[in-house]
Amino acid sequence: MTRKFLLTLLVFLPGCGTADTAPATAQPNVILITLDTTRADRMGFLGSKRGLTPHLDALAREGTVFTRAYSQAPLTTVSHATLLTGTYPPFHAVEDFSVPLPDDVPDLAVELKQRGYRTAAFVGALILDPVNGMAPNFNRGFDVYDAGYRLRRDRADDRYQSLERRAEDVVARAQKWLEASSSQPFFLWVHVFDPHEPYEAPAPWGQRHKDPYDGEIAYTDSVMGKLFDFLRQRNLMAGTTIVVASDHGEAFGEHGEFTHGVFLYDTTIHVPLVIKFHDGHWKGVRYTGQVSLVDVAPTVLAAANAPVPQEMQGRNLIPLLQRPPADLPSYAETQYPRRAFGWSALHTLRSGGQLYVQAPRPELYDVTADPETKQDLAEARKADARRMDGQLENFKKRVESGRTPENVRTKADPRLLEKLTALGYVSGGAATTKPDNELPDPKDKIQVANQLHSATLMIEQGEQARAIPTLQRILATDPQIFVAQMQLGLAYSKQKNYREAIAPLRKATDLMPTSGPAHFALGRSLLSVGEIAAAATHFEIVVTQIPQWAGAHFLLATAYAITERPQQAMDSCRTALKYEPSNYGANLLLGRMLTVHGDPAGGLPHLEKAVELRPNSAEGFRLLADTYARLGRAADAERARAAAARLRGAAPVVDP
């Protein structure tokens, strides 16, 4: 058996390479920076001549550049789950957004926290919000996880105050956290979302670049420059291991794809990766062997002189830097076509200079001769394709854990499964149970994905009237597309046409019974048309699945209050306030309910809080006036009544 063969085998063994650790020194600080949706070919340090990234290039000169780093998935939550856990998607089972990160997978933040690190995450968008968004349990191991995002209420609602934050805002929050001095080492994760569409960089970057995506990259780089300056000024640059990576790239029409998620070609899977080690080791090295994002967590732990958990499947890259570059086979997958559209999932293996795409009609590319993967050789090199298919299958078998997104949830809370079953939901988690090779090949359907994507963006931008016909056209031929049903329901909801919203949202929950956001949207529409008991059941599912979702607890409380279940309503309000003390609706409702159930003194602070939160709410002042009156505080009651009268005319707002 040759040494090369043995090394190839080792690559496939989970947890291997863990014996390699750097010599023990003090615990260095660690900063992980993830640049969402950032293409490798826009980085100056990877050969771009566009001049977009002077600050990242400067960091790259101080550190090690991995010129051929590959992501394991073209989706934000999946790729970040791999980055944080050092495990492959078939192991952590976070195969799409909304799937909770399991409690029992290894995790970088958990490991470092256990070793005395202060840990904090500052994420840039709703997609990585563990509470209101699509990344349940991603806050595992973090002392501070700064998110707090929400969907936009309407067109006037600023997206940078709701769905996402500008990079400068995210970095400013992170810097504030860094300023609190401590003798403990820290682990900081900063995620910036700006390069993700819509591409609308602030001035002057938006204007300076003809390509709006390039403007976002240049803007993001400028903010990174500010962060690096801040670190230098506080002597935090030396002594800190800094990793910069992107979670996935972005497609601009390559293979017919726009944005990311469906395909696994280099446009979305080749990613920038720089590691600047705290001790200055490997400065200026350009490592040209093939590596993967799954290798980041073990490498960071090794750099921090922390043991790498056996279950981590990536490799510590440090020992590789001491040898001539070698290609580690790199695996990627996307379940998005299957879960969102009912098409085949895709899997790829990059190995030996070839890219193999496992699909109903498999593809094979010689990436050395054909880096843009324009010529599919699967027919011409049948034996190679078969061999790589075998390797890929073996690889999946070696890394999978047996977790599925469904049993991840069920394990988290069996009550969820009970509720779903009671409502008649069966199986669940995926839009189809058919094997992949019996499903449509995504390459035959990519135009549908592109249309759906534009419709989603229209809704996000408040253009419901334009989006609805597009969605209806898609659903006329492909009614099993979860995202299309969900978006159609949301489009109607945003138009306040809740009756029309119910059918597509119900279909969405049929297609993906474990989607918390789908149940939330359906519950809200049912509540709005007066189907209160049904609404309550859907909110119960949401709060079982995502217990910290304050807005769902509040709407559940509303449903209980209307159906004469005051005790349950008040309990749900209290739960909402436990997670979000400044939830207006929960303060208002709890304050009112306590008042009318004989405890105006208990209700008062909640109503005072409600009017403090929304000083323009006539409803709040009206209820507050009544509570003051019941407490015998006539003058206060009069003042509150006067305020309500002044504000009358403004529609009462009850909003989670």
Residues that bind Zn ion (CB under 5 A): 36, 76, 247
Question: To the nearest whole angstrom, how small is the minimum distance from the Cβ of residue 588 to Zn ion?
Answer: 36
Residue 138 or 584: which CB sits closer to Zn ion? Answer: 138
Q: Which is nearer to Zn ion, 146 or 164 (CB)?
A: 164
Q: How many CB atoms lie within 10 A of CB 180?
A: 9
Q: At its nearest, how many Å lie between Zn ion and the CB of residue 195?
A: 9
Task: Judge whether 545 and 560 are in contact, CB under 8 Å.
Answer: no
Tokens of 276: 């600047």
User: Which CB atom, from 74 or from 585, has the smaller least distance to Zn ion?
Assistant: 74
Provide the minimum distance between the beta carbon of 127 and Zn ion in the complex, in angstroms, as a whole number: 7
Helix (H, G, I), strand (E, B) or coil at 275: strand
Toward Zn ion, which CB reaches closer, 76 or 595?
76
Q: What is the nearest approach in angstroms of Zn ion to the Cβ of residue 339?
A: 16
What would the DSSP string read from start to end of 487-500? HHHHHHHHTT-HHH
Closer Cβ to Zn ion, 247 or 460, answer by number: 247
Planar angle of CA 56, 191, 272, nearest 5 degrees? 40
- CA angle, corner 190, sides to 187 and 192, nearest 5? 170
Query: Minimum distance between the CB of residue 193 and Zn ion, rounded to whole angstroms?
Result: 8
Q: In the complex with Zn ion, which residue's Cβ is closer, 36 or 57? A: 36
Which residues are paired to 87 by β-bridges?
Answer: none
Closer residue to Zn ion, CB minimum distance, 39 or 592: 39
Residue 570, SS3 per DSSP: helix
Q: How far is the CB of 605 from Zn ion (least distance, A)?
A: 41
The least distance separating Zn ion from the CB of residue 72, rounded to whole angstroms, comes to 13
Residue 82 CB, nearest distance to Zn ion (Å)? 12
Which distant-in-sequence residues (6+ apart) come within 8 Å of 189 by Cβ? Answer: 31, 32, 33, 34, 84, 109, 120, 121, 122, 123, 142
Q: How many angstroms separate the Cα of 314 from the Cα of each of 11, 16, 409?
A: 8, 8, 25
CB closest to Zn ion, residue no: 76
Nearer to Zn ion by Cβ, of 250 and 295: the residue is 250
Give the residue with the Cβ less far from Zn ion, 119 or 259.
259
Name the H helices within 400-512: 405-412, 414-422, 442-460, 464-477, 482-494, 498-511
Smallest separation, CB 405 to Zn ion (Å): 19
Query: Least Å distance between CB 444 and Zn ion?
Result: 25
Closest CB 486 distance from Zn ion, rounded Å: 19
At a CB cut-off of 8 Å and minimum separation 6, what does 105 contact?
85, 87, 91, 92, 311, 401
CA distance linking residue 577 with residue 548, whole number of Å = 10
Q: How far apart are CA 16 and CA 69, in angstroms?
A: 19
Omega before 204 within 30 of 0, i.e. cis = yes
Nearer to Zn ion, 453 or 524 (CB): 453
Length of the chain, in residues: 656
Contact status, residue 298 vs residue 18, Cβ threshold 8 Å: yes
Task: Categorise residue 511: left if φ over 0, alpha if ψ from -120 to 50, beta otherwise.
Answer: alpha
Number of separate helices (H) and strands (E) present in the chain = 26, 15
**Please, which residue, 134 or 388, has the CB nearer to Zn ion?**
134
Question: What is the nearest approach in angstroms of Zn ion to the Cβ of residue 471?
Answer: 23
Measured CA distances, 306 to 109, 321, 629 (Å): 12, 19, 62
Neighbours of 540 (CB within 10 A): 22
User: Please, which residues bridge with residue 286 across strands?
Assistant: 65
Q: Which is nearer to Zn ion, 134 or 559 (CB)?
A: 134
